[in-house]
Structure 1
Amino acid sequence: MLHEAVRAAGYSAVVQTQSRTEAESVGDIAVACWGMPPEQLILETHSTNYGENAAFTRNKLAELGMAPSNIVVVQDPLMQLRTVVTFQKAWCESKQPPRFYSWPTFVPALVERHGTITYAPTLPAGLWAPERLVSLLLGEMARLRDTEAGYGPRGKGFIPHVEIPPRIEVCYQSVLAQIGGLEGLRTRLL
């Protein structure tokens, strides 16, 4: 999806995507669009999931003799929480685990305009269709759960227990009821 977004945004001239990892493409964006010096980037390019990314990043920093006290985690805003807790889990047995800061760069907001759900006008262009946003968000909620089907300790064990605030749980259950559950989500939105 990142590579599609790069092409759609017209960054193909400065960001190479063919035969490149997401980390390499994001590194190109950091250099070309945000002015980061390339020599300051440390890219982990071998992982295929969040758990590997966290573990491989920890190992790469250790190989470089680096023991950071602070780490800023930048991720798609919908997956930000899961990424941060995955990194926390990867470092939990360290003698001095770093403090993780979450920086999603923006937070999507939906508004109703003339009977249609759309994005708030202050958000960047090129985001997912609102239906896709809801699909991604509900899927992420299912993963964050500490149940047999979730990613928490009582489920797949990929992440530590995440406390879901009651207000968020009520909203989640309300949306699920309106669309007919996660199965309804798959047939209606994807």
Structure 2
Amino acid sequence: MDKKISKYEIANCINVLGNFCGKRDIDELTAFELIKKYGVEKADVMVLFGGSILAGGDVLANAMKNDVAKKYVIVGGRGHTTASLEEQFYKLYPDSDKNSILSEISEAEIFRNYLKYKYNLQPDFLEIYSINCGNNITNLLKLLKEENITFKNIIISQDATMQLRMEAILKKYFSENIKIINFAVYSSKVCVKDGKLCFENDIFGMWDIDRYITLLMGEIPRLTDDENGYGPRGTGYIAHIDIPENVKNAFLILKQIHGDKVRKADPSFTST
């Protein structure tokens, strides 16, 4: 039990969790990839969720330039990731609307502003009131219904740490006839350099390594379908997910040294 766990083993365990949570169903958001896997040149809807790092705006912009969807939506009010998103945005654009800072605008509006300032692009719709993954989805579906947008497929992009959970929430509401296409905002790999954990590649706006571990480790208890999780045997927030043994083992190894990083749900951002 007291066996010393090497930094390399820790990095490997983090990557196991990251690969599990950060689901990408296609390699790139292009018409070629959509045709190759799904037989469609363009998805009916693409959604960016505001819990992402700022690189999510680049993913959405590239998707819009590649014309991969008929409609583009950004979803997100204010939640536990909003403060870091604001900080990233206002570092980049200090001369942007200062009233936005004072009025505490939503994550969706921050991403809209990012698209406007950097790319001169505009999404079709914003949802600005949801405060957690659950009502991200319910508010999104309400918006699509109100706008009379029908769809047989949908691309969803969320922070890689929360991508799988977002799909699991959607599956609660969708029939099997609707195809969910996952494209996590980033794909990261943790390595060891000079005896320290770090990211192999630079990712724009990426969490620091401790925050990344905290977010990942908070996901596994939520995704586990037991009395303490979010699945049908627990709170019922998400559809059932099978957790592979290698993911369970990686989580348990990390818990030995990062047990304090298992993020508990903030009641301020919990669905009633």
- Once superposed, what is the RMSD of the aligned Cα atoms? 2.3
Instruction: Answer 1 or 2: which has greater strand percent.
Output: 2
Q: Which residue of 2 aligns with 1:141?
A: 220
SS at match of 1:132: helix
Question: In the TM superposition, what is the alpha-carbon distance from 1:4 to its structure 2 partner?
Answer: 1.8
For 1:168, the equivalent position in structure 2 comes to: 247
The structure showing larger relative contact order (alpha-carbon pairs under 8 Å, at least 6 residues apart) is 2
Question: CA–CA distance in 2 between the matches of 1:48 and 1:28?
Answer: 19
Find the counterpart in structure 2 of residue 11 from structure 1: 93
Unaligned runs of 5+ in 2: 1-83, 264-272
Q: 1:149-184: per-residue Cα shift (whole Å, max 9, x none)?
A: 1111111111011111211111111111233x3xx3
Aligned match of 2:196 in 110, 116, 126? 116
SS in 2 for 1:173: helix
Secondary structure of the 2:228 match is coil
- Count the aligned residue pairs: 177
Residues 61-140 of structure 1: pairs in structure 2 closer than 5 A: 61-92=144-175, 98-120=178-200, 122-140=201-219
SS in 2 for 1:60: helix
Aligned partners of 2:167 and 2:155: how far apart in 1?
Answer: 9
CA 1:168/1:34 → structure 2, altered by over 3 Å: closer, same or farther? farther
Kept in 2: contact 1:110–1:119 (CA 8 A): yes
2:117 corresponds to which of 1, 24, 32: 32
Q: CA deviation at 1:49?
A: 1.4
Paired residue type of 2:117? A
Shift of 1:15: 7.5
- Assess if the C-alpha contact under 8 Å between 1:75 and 1:83 holds in 2: yes
Give the distance between the partners of 1:62 and 1:68, measured in 2 at CA. Answer: 10
Instruction: Identify unmatched segments of 5+ residues in structure 1.
Output: none
Partners of 1:15 and 1:84 in 2: how far apart? 34
Task: Name the CA distance, whole Å, in 1 between partners of 2:193 and 2:97.
Answer: 35
Q: Is the 8 A contact 1:79 1:140 kept in 2?
A: yes
Deviation at 1:119, TM superposition (A): 0.9
- State how far apart, in whole Å, the 2-side matches of 1:172 and 1:123 are: 25
**Could you list the per-position Cα deviations for residues 51-79 of structure 1 after superposition, in whole angstroms to 9, with x for gaps in the alignment?**
11111111111111111122111111111
SS of structure 2 residue aligned to 1:33: helix
Alignment of 1:47-66 (within 5 A): 47-66=130-149
Query: How far off its partner does 1:35 sit?
Result: 4.3
Q: What's the TM-score once normalised by structure 1's chain length?
A: 0.82
Shift of the alpha carbon at 1:123? 2.6
| Counterpart for residue 235 of structure 2 | 156
The answer (yes or no) to whether the contact 2:221–2:229 under 8 Å persists in 1 is yes
The alpha carbon displacement at 1:31 in A equals 3.3
Cα distance in 2, alignment partners of residues 100 and 14 from structure 1: 35
Tell me if the contact between 1:74 and 1:80 (Cα under 8 Å) persists in the aligned partners: yes
Offset at residue 5 of structure 1 (A):
2.1
Distance in 2 (alpha carbons) for counterparts of 1:44 and 1:153: 27
Give secondary structure in 2 for the equivalent of 1:163. coil
**Residue range with higher mean Cα deviation, 123-132 or 79-88:** 123-132
Aligned identity (percent) is 27
The 2-side partners of 1:126 and 1:56 are apart by 26
